[in-house]
Amino acid sequence: MPTQAIPMTLTQTLIMGVIQILAVLIVIFIIVPLTTFAERKVIGYIQVRLGATRLAGGHVGITGPMNRIMWGMGKVPMLSILRGLPIFIADALKLITKEDIIPAKADRGVFTLAPIISVMAAFGVFACVAYYPGVMFYMPKSWPVIGGLPFQGFITDVNVGLLFILGLASVGVYGIVLGAWASNSKYPLLGSLRSAAQIVSYEVPLTLSLLVPVLLSGSLSFKDMSVALSTGKDLNPLAIIPLFIGFFVYLTCGFAETNRVPFDLAEAETELVAGFHTEYSGMKFGFFYLAEYANMIVVSSLATAFFLGGHYLLPFGLQRFIPATMPIIGGPSFFFFFAKILCILFVFLWVRATLPRYRYDQLMDVGWKYLIPLTLVNLFLAAIIRFAF
């Protein structure tokens, strides 16, 4: 694993930082629309019904040939799953060109600011996520100013990275609450109240479940925690027990924190029309949409890094049994990290297609009566394993 050894000037540092930020944003803006397409297709297959098959539009102009091509793809077994792929382009164009409507009695300033808060909180978290624990590659030496400089697998390595992630991610609820309040409508207000109570409730077991890897690794740095927990270095073999329990608690809380089924009480379209974003349209609604899927990627990244082996092949510290000298599977890889994120995103879609929504009292019961006591017991177990053995 190569390490940073080249001193950089302030200008070089700023340029490399901008390049890394742009690279992360481009990947996110590719994954989010593809995830919306995959959601339609996965739910369609699981529920034995058609997902996206063709692009909406007439049979003239550009949509006609595209529809005929996609319909023909259905006759090819391996390509049938890709039918309707351009639909996410249509979704993006629809959001950009749709009329931006603001209710007459809404607080216009707060109404506009709320989705911006949500999307900034969701995207800002990626500053501390380590996609690879070292240098991924070096910039071509022929390039001016930044030639030969390392491209790190993370934007920044903060020694309290996990604390930064949890703190900034929790700001996203302000966008939901403020947007619903500013709409001056009863359905969004009910959705925001549900969301605020839900997120506050489930942040407690979520944080307690993440304290297990913190306790076992002895660090708050995203990169250091990921490497220590993945390789199993200085990790007691019994640590797999609290990590395994912590993973399922964390993932459950992750569903609640992202307002996904079966915890989508903030939207609950069968009860509240669309919940907190009922009055939003155009790109303001698009920002809330981006924030939700970006938060799904964040939840998947943390689960991958701290429980599923991160950049290494095996989860829960089992990588210790594979020699580091073994080619491909013995060392870290960005593709391992990326593949695990995709698997967890699939679980998000799978759960949406199979489980019904909780009642609100059931949702609160799960968080306070079951998950919090379980995480406290699990944290106590991790402390015993860490300090008594």
Is the pLDDT at 1 greater than 60? The verdict is no
pLDDT at res. 66: 79
Residues 68-120 pLDDT 10s? 888 788 788 778 788 888 887 778 888 888 888 999 999 999 999 999 999 99
> Taking the alpha carbons of 143, 124, 88, 38 in that order, is the dihedral positive or negative?
positive
Terminal-residue alpha carbon distance, the chain: 30
Q: Residue 130 has what DSSP assignment?
A: E
Using one digit for the tens of pLDDT, what is the confidence trace for 341-388? 999 999 999 999 999 988 889 999 999 999 999 999 999 999 999 998
In the predicted model, what is the mean pLDDT of residues 225-252?
Answer: 93
pTM of the full structure: 0.93
Q: Which two tokens stand for residue 72?
A: 């023909």
The letter for the amino acid at 326 is: M
Q: What is the C-alpha to C-alpha distance for residues 38 and 244, in angstroms, rounded to an integer?
A: 28
- 18 lies in a domain? no
> In terms of Cα–Cα distance, which of 173, 126, 169, 122 is closest to 293?
122
Listed in sequence order, the DSSP H helices in 5-155 are 10-46, 63-73, 87-97, 108-124
In a domain, 51, yes or no: no
Domain span including residue 245: 101-131+139-388
User: Which amino acid makes up residue 20?
Assistant: Q
Contacts of 294 (CB under 8 A, 6+ apart): 28, 32, 119, 122, 123, 126
In a domain, 9, yes or no: no
Whether residue 34 lies inside any domain: the answer is: no
In a domain, 271, yes or no: yes
pLDDT (tens digit, 9 = 90+) per residue, 365-376?
999 999 999 999
The rounded distance, in Å, linking the Cα atoms of 122 and 28 is 11
In a domain, 312, yes or no: yes
Q: Is residue 6 part of a domain?
A: no
Beta-bridge partners for 86? none
Q: Which residue has the tokens 């009329």?
A: 99
Q: How many CB atoms lie within 10 A of CB 202?
A: 24
Q: Does 16 reside within a domain?
A: no
Number of folded domains in the chain?
A: 1
Q: How far apart are CA 129 and CA 297, in angstroms?
A: 11
